[in-house]
Amino acid sequence: MASPPTAGARPDDVRRHNRAALLRRLHVDGPCTRAALATELGLNRSTIKTLVDGLTDAGLVAEQVPTRRAGAGRPSLLVVPRATAVVVLAVDVGVEQLTVATVGIGGDVLGRRSWVLERGRVHPVDVVDRVTEARRRLADELGVDAVAVGVSVPGTVRRADGQVHEAPNLHWTDVPLGEQLSRVLRLPVQVGNDADLGGLAEHTRGAARNTADALYLSADVGVGGGVISGGVLLRGTGGYVGELGHMVVRPDGRQCYCGCRGCWETEVGEDAVRRALSLPGDADRAAIVAELRSLADDAELARHRLRGVADWLALGLANAVNLLAPELVVLGGLLAALPPSVVAEVEEVVRRRSMVARASGHLRVATAALGGEGPLLGAAELAFEPVLATV
């Protein structure tokens, strides 16, 4: 149910609040009847009628007969968001790939462009140029231009202005990416950390849907975390939160680029998984994922080959669960390809070792439902947040 407007709010403010709540409900959960909208949003039917009629007149929604009918009689019309009525540009700046997509209301990806990047040679000016090119081409194809931009970056980002403080695997330091994109595109731009946005996407459309407290942990070249607390993304002071990959779990472990030894990402990140699988140092992401998936039907072999990664993963998660008390842990990135038997074993160990998990009795560990799309879809949600409140 949508939160009620502040007591004493003016009628116009109440209408805007209710309109935004209804549009967000359709954006996140899809088509719905007027009666169900009234129940879910806690509004009377006349108010819902006024809101739906207004959104229909504005071209944001349409009413349709459901394709599947339940029972006899005249079916209730479904209120359906029109995907192309408002679109945003979602950008995922990865270490090895740049993806730009147009996403419409309802979360549908309407078009995309991707480029392979050379690791360690991703220049901000090239990102800006390619996003600008993709925006133009996608707008021409769709016939609709984006109204806002959301960007996912593997680094620490200042939410106020999209300043990338540090993205080590891109070799970026103090890059004003949000300002640069906004100036060139002449659109509002929101920039966020990739793990934060992966967590936001899984909470909105994936494995953590309908979960109030969740931890999203993604391991690729680096390791990062996104925290959902009380149903919202935990953003911290200035937007810097979730650097779980640099939690020290093994003081005598390998040197990390951050200057410490034994950071969590040195034990469960891409290099650690590659070593555990005895793959060559130049084995790419696809090769690592293929090897992980080949172990899915052999629990004993999977346990043997991934024992070290699983042990350090469970240890770090036990600490994180004690601190954050999630009801669900979602494993993303390479961790989403772990064999089910290994995921189950990690869950059992975390439940046993975490005091909070033992007390709550219902911690679950699951793999990401959105796969590698999480940061991209999370970037779209980041862009939609202010748009849905004002459109």
SS (H, E, C) 114-168: EEECCCCCCCHHHHHHHHHHHHHHHHHHHCCCCCCEEEEECCEEECCCCEEEEEH
> How many helices, marked H, and strands, marked E, lie in the chain?
14, 16
Contact by Cβ (8 Å): 178, 91: no
- Integer Cα distance of 126 and 94 in angstroms: 13
Is the predicted pLDDT of residue 232 greater than 50, yes or no? yes
Q: What architecture is domain 11-81?
A: Orthogonal Bundle (1.10)
pLDDT at 121: 85
Q: With 80 as the cut, is the pLDDT of residue 309 above it?
A: yes
Q: Where are the domains of the chain?
A: 11-81, 87-197+374-390, 207-369
Max distance between CA atoms of the chain, in angstroms, equals 71
pTM of the complete model: 0.91
- For residue 154, give Cα distances in angstroms to 164, 199, 209, 227, 335: 9, 13, 23, 16, 16
Q: Fold for domain 87-197+374-390?
A: Nucleotidyltransferase; domain 5 (3.30.420)
Provide the pLDDT for residue 237. Answer: 73
8-state DSSP, 222 = S
The pair of three-digit structure tokens given for residue 175, joined into one six-digit string: 């890059």
19 pLDDT above the threshold of 70: yes
pLDDT band of 5, cuts 50, 70, 90: low
Dist CA 6 CA 11 (whole Å): 11
Distance separating the N- and C-terminal Cα atoms of the chain: 20
DSSP H helices, 215-333, are 264-268, 270-276, 285-294, 299-305, 307-324
- Report the C-alpha gap between 390 and 325 in whole angstroms: 34
- Per-residue pLDDT band at 9 (split at 50, 70, 90): low
Q: Do domains 11-81 and 207-369 have the same CATH topology?
A: no
pLDDT, mean of residues 101-119: 94
| Arithmetic mean of pLDDT, 178-192 | 97
Whole-angstrom distance, CA of residue 192 vs CA of residue 150? 8
Q: What is the mean pLDDT of residues 347-375?
A: 93
Sheet holding 149-153, edge to edge: 109-116, 97-104, 87-93, 149-153, 189-193
Residue type, 165: H
In this prediction, residues 358-368 reach a mean pLDDT of 92
Average pLDDT for 242-267:
88
At 150 the pLDDT is 98
User: Is residue 62 scored above 80 in pLDDT?
Assistant: yes
Q: What DSSP element (H or E) covers 227?
A: strand 223-229
Nearest CA among 147, 128, 145 for reference residue 136 = 145
CA dihedral 315, 336, 240, 185 (to 10 degrees): 170
Q: Which of 32-41, 63-72, 200-209 has the lowest mean pLDDT?
A: 63-72
- Does 205 have pLDDT greater than 80? yes
How far apart, in Å, are the Cα atoms of 194 and each of 22, 160, 161, 183, 275?
Answer: 28, 16, 16, 22, 24
DSSP 279: -
The string over 273-303, giving b where at least 16 C-beta atoms fall within 10 Å of a residue's C-beta and e elsewhere, is bbebbeeeeebebeebbebbeebeeeeeebe
Q: How confident is the model at residue 6 (pLDDT cuts 50, 70, 90)?
A: low
Q: What is the pLDDT of residue 8?
A: 53
Average pLDDT over residues 241-246: 81
Q: What is the average per-residue pLDDT within 211-239?
A: 89
On the question of pLDDT at 3 being above 70, the answer is no
Report strand pairing: 214-219 vs 328-333: parallel
Q: What is the mean pLDDT of residues 172-199?
A: 96
Mean pLDDT in residue range 345-367: 93
Q: What is the mean pLDDT of the chain?
A: 92
Name residue, tokens 């959105």. 370
Task: Average the pLDDT over 16-29 and give the result.
Answer: 95
What average pLDDT does range 176-180 have in this prediction?
A: 97
What is the enclosing helix (H) or strand (E) of 295? none
Q: What is the CATH class of 207-369?
A: alpha beta
Confidence of residue 1 (pLDDT cuts 50, 70, 90): very low
- Residue 7: the pLDDT is 52
**pLDDT, mean of residues 112-138:** 93
